[in-house]
Amino acid sequence: MPIILYRVDERLIHGQVVVGWGISLKIERIVLANDQVAANPWERELYLAGVPPEIKATILSVNDAATRISENGFEGEKTLILVDSPWDIWKLLEKGVKINTVNVGGVHFKSGRNKILPYLYLSVEEISVFKKIIASGVRCECQDMPLAEKHDLETLFTRLGL
């Protein structure tokens, strides 16, 4: 299993991902899949500077990430795929990437978003994309930190009447 975690986290590469998930899962490579970051050299440099030397990092557009994943381009390395929104997970799925489980981490408060968990606020549009992802057979597990309790997103939606 080369890819051991798909994570949605609005902050992308930051302490919780590198220190929290990176260390506990012994991640060898972080793949940041994001069109804006991939297209901007300054942004690329900024995010790469946040990666400690023992972890390799690759920044790709979502399409290029999908291609590399489908070609088993990360075989042999414990890889964490990082995106900042459910739309990019959906894009990976549409490109034929097989995903069993998505880890949903920090998507924070902003106006127009509903509170799901203390670290998870979603707009109506984001909820509907997550529902499409779930309906396509992917389990969405909310868990901000490795030792935190896991919550199934579908169950949370039902419980909150969303």
Task: Identify the residue among 96, 112, 118, 137 touching other proteins (CB under 8 A).
Answer: 118
Asked if residue 112 binds other proteins (CB under 8 A), the reply is no
* Residue 96 binds other proteins, judged by CB under 8 A: no
Give residue 144's identity as a one-letter amino acid code.
D
With contacts defined by CB under 8 A, name the span among 8-16, 25-33, 88-96, 132-140 that binds other proteins.
8-16
Would you give the distance in Å from CA 32 to the centre of its chain?
9
Backbone φ and ψ for 51, nearest 5 degrees, come out as: -105, 125
Task: Please tell me the distance from the alpha carbon of residue 137 to that of residue 40, in angstroms, as a whole number.
Answer: 34
Please give the structure tokens belonging to residue 109: 């408060």
Q: Which helix (H) or strand (E) holds 46?
A: helix 41-48
Stretch that binds other proteins, among 45-53, 61-69, 93-101, 124-132 (CB under 8 A): 45-53
Binding site for other proteins (CB under 8 A): 10-11, 13-15, 18, 42, 46-47, 49-52, 84, 106-110, 118-119
